[in-house]
Amino acid sequence: MKAKIVIIGAGISGAGIAYNLANKGMKDIVVFDASYLTSGATGRCGAGIRQQWSSKMNCILAKKSVDFFETAQEVLEYPRSVEFKQEGYLIVATTKEEDLQFTENVKLQQSLGIPARKCTKEEALEIVPHLNKDAFISATFCPTDGHLNPFTMTEAYYLAAKRMGVKFFFNEEVTEIVVNNNKIEKVITNKRTVETAMVVNAAGGHSKEVGDMAGIDIPVYSENHEILVTEPVEKIQGPMVISFSLNIYCQQVPHGSFIMGRSTADQVRGHDVGSTHEFLDEMAKTAVHILPPLGDLRVVRQWGGSYNNSPDRQPIISDCSELPGFYLACGFSGHGFMFAPMTGLLLSEMIMGEKTSIDIKELHIDRFKNSDFTTYERNVV
Amino acid sequence: MSKKDTIICRCEDVTLEDVEAIMNEGYTSFEEIKRILRVGMGPCQGNTCGQLLQREISKFLKVPLNEVETHKVRPLITGVKLKSIVEATKDES
Ligand SMILES: Cc1cc2nc3c(=O)[nH]c(=O)nc-3n(C[C@H](O)[C@H](O)[C@H](O)COP(=O)(O)OP(=O)(O)OC[C@H]3O[C@@H](n4cnc5c(N)ncnc54)[C@H](O)[C@@H]3O)c2cc1C
Ligand code: FES
């Protein structure tokens, strides 16, 4: 088999890149996934969409992605609903330092056209009345942040790409990338060999291993992040409530369930995505502390998923100076779902040799070579 | 009884008609069907619907029942209130 380009991974990134390339007229696009659609981090994520970041680049990626999500249903002609619910993110500050930092963040966000604002405690309590008033000192709110269904959003890209001729192969793992004289020649899976000169590494938690196959050392690592969901109840909370210092994000999804997650301190690196009772205990304590009425909700399920972290917690959307034809979309550090429209657009522009919509030098893998990256995204759970 | 009235997953209100439609779209594994239709994601965690869906997939693909993979069983086995979990951790310390 021959292909113009092989995309490894059919999560939101791979599906979005495939759609954007096909939309630009590229033919013979092949996507392989070792498992099924959304089997990786995408199908396990918190489904949160937010534009309130501390780094300019992340703000821009998020804002432009939200612009796309608002029209995704129609643009992709998707028959089901992508369930984009824009009822905001309320980020609470619990310390003086956070309060100061958030004031700076909001200035940056507003300068980029993101409708975020600083809120007093009283204003925050009007937005989410069941917040524990003693658990925080101030907040920021952006009404156009929200929630999007990871399964249907990915399927929307997938179906649109398929309609334009992209070939997807599931349950098929890429095991080898053949490189000769600094040129990609073949991609080998557990089922076939494909002749191609271009490969996109959108392998999420396994992007480092896929980089190794091509002899490219990608400075990312994976770690398990746990999350849980409660039984569905009547709607009581519009926005996502999030706190970096308390280590929690929590939102009620359109279906009625609450989804909440937090990161585990000193998590071991690796591909484990299991569930622990330590997470359950800490999660329950934090949730009941900050949102007391949630104590009455029953947890129905918990699971884990891979965060693929980069050294500066910003994505790697890049080509490779060492290997022409090898492209990277990885290292999303826990926020790659909400960036997918820009990931797809920027990488497809790069691959087609077009000028990228925004300057993305600071997302290039070479920024880690001399450790000359200057921004570090602090606003992560 | 019509397929529209035959409930496969009562927690998430999914009918036989829904299930057949999704299989006709090409989604024939338990995990895929679960992610799109929410079958098995309800409070009973697929206890009731798991085998029903497995049987429908087996019929659709014409493969023996024991060759159809069911969904991954995840904790918790039964729903527990968040505040009960908090209480339990207090008892331990
Ligand atoms: C608990 C949790 C909560 C999160 N919450 C949010 C959130 O609220 N908002 C947000 O924006 N982001 C969130 N994220 C992050 C987000 O899920 C990821 O950044 C995003 O889904 C990455 O998508 P991806 O397509 O790059 O990778 P993935 O979805 O992981 O897809 C990679 C795919 O590559 C395939 N693959 C790997 N190796 C191979 C191979 N050798 N051959 C073939 N296929 C291969 C895998 O099977 C997989 O399907 C969260 C993540 C977790 C774990
Ligand atoms: S009947 Fe399907 S989850 Fe309970």
Q: Examine the pLDDT at A156 and tell me if it is beyond 70.
A: yes
Q: Would you call A6 helix, strand, or coil by DSSP?
A: strand
Which of B7, B49, B71, B77 has the most ligand 2 atoms within 8 A of CB, as the residue to mutate?
B49
Half-sphere exposure of B67 (CA within 13 A, CB side): 8
Cα–Cα distance, B40 to B34 (Å, whole number): 6
Full 3-state SS string of A73-97: HHHCCCCCCCCCECCCEEEEECCHH
User: What does the pLDDT look like over A245-258, one tens digit per residue?
Assistant: 999 999 999 999 99
Q: Examine the pLDDT at B93 and tell me if it is beyond 60.
A: no
Domain ranges (residues) in chain A = 5-45+151-220+312-368, 86-146+221-309
Chain B's closest residue to A304, CA to CA, is B74
Q: Examine the pLDDT at A130 and tell me if it is beyond 60.
A: yes
Cα–Cα distance, A284 to A61 (Å, whole number): 32
Cα–Cα distance, B77 to B54 (Å, whole number): 20
- What integer pLDDT is reported at residue B29 of this predicted model? 92
Cβ of B81 within 8 Å of Cβ of A37? The answer is: no
Cα–Cα distance, A186 to A183 (Å, whole number): 9
Pairing of strands A138-142, A183-189: unpaired
Q: Is the dihedral of CA A366, A371, A372, A377 positive or negative?
A: positive
Instruction: Report, as an integer, the average pLDDT of A119-146.
Output: 98
- What integer pLDDT is reported at residue B91 of this predicted model? 72
| Residues of chain A neighbouring B82 (CB-CB closer than 8 A) | 230, 284, 287-288, 294-299
Picking from B41, B76, B83, the nearest residue to A302 by CB comes out as B76
Topology given in CATH for the domain delimited by A5-45+151-220+312-368: FAD/NAD(P)-binding domain (3.50.50)
Q: Which of the residues A277, A298, A302, A303 would you substitute to probe the B interface, choosing the one with the greatest number of B C-beta atoms within 10 Å?
A: A298
Q: Which of the residues A44, A289, A301, A302 would you substitute to probe the B interface, choosing the one with the greatest number of B C-beta atoms within 10 Å?
A: A301
Which of A6, A8, A42, A309 has the most ligand 1 atoms within 8 A of CB, as the residue to mutate?
A42
Cβ of A295 within 8 Å of Cβ of B86? The answer is: yes
Q: 């900050």: which residue's tokens? A: A290
Q: Which two tokens stand for residue A287?
A: 């949730």
Q: Which residues contact A55 (CB under 8 A, 6 or more apart)?
A: A314, A375, A376, A377
CB of A298 closer than 8 Å to CB of A284: no
Architecture of the domain defined by A86-146+221-309: 2-Layer Sandwich (3.30)
Domain at B3-89, CATH class: mainly alpha
Share above pLDDT 70 across residues of chain A, in percent, rounded to a whole number: 99
Could you check whether the bond before residue A131 is cis, i.e. omega within 30 degrees of 0? no
Give φ, ψ of B92 to 5 degrees.
-70, -30
Which of A366, A345, A367 is closest to A355 using CA atoms? A345
Q: Taking CB atoms and a 6 Å cutoff, what residues make up the pocket around ligand 2?
A: B 9-12, 39-40, 42, 44, 46, 48-49
* A377 confidence band (pLDDT: 50, 70, 90): confident
Domain ranges (residues) in chain B = 3-89
CB of A174 closer than 8 Å to CB of A33: no
pTM score, two decimals?
A: 0.95
| Residues of chain B neighbouring A285 (CB-CB closer than 8 A) | 86, 89
Give the ipTM of the model, two decimals please: 0.84
* CB of A34 sitting under 6 A from ligand 1: yes
User: What does the pLDDT look like over A315-367, one tens digit per residue?
Assistant: 999 999 999 999 999 999 999 999 999 999 999 999 999 999 999 999 999 99
User: What does the pLDDT look like over A262-289, one tens digit per residue?
Assistant: 999 889 999 999 999 999 999 999 999 9
A281-314 as b/e: b if 16+ CB within 10 A:
ebbbbbbbbbbebbbebebbbbbbbbbbbbbbbb
Share above pLDDT 90 across residues of chain A, in percent, rounded to a whole number: 95
- What integer pLDDT is reported at residue A370 of this predicted model? 75
| Residues of chain A neighbouring B88 (CB-CB closer than 8 A) | 281
Atom of ligand 2 at shortest distance to CA of B50? 2
Those residues of chain A whose CB sits closer than 8 Å to some CB in chain B are 36-39, 43, 80, 151-152, 155, 230-231, 255, 275, 280-281, 284-285, 287-288, 294-303
Position A195, amino acid? E
- What integer pLDDT is reported at residue A266 of this predicted model? 87
For chain A, the average pLDDT equals 96
- Spacing, Cα A40 to ligand 1 middle (Å): 5
**A178 to A97, A193, A203, A212, A328: CA distances (angstroms):** 51, 10, 17, 11, 17
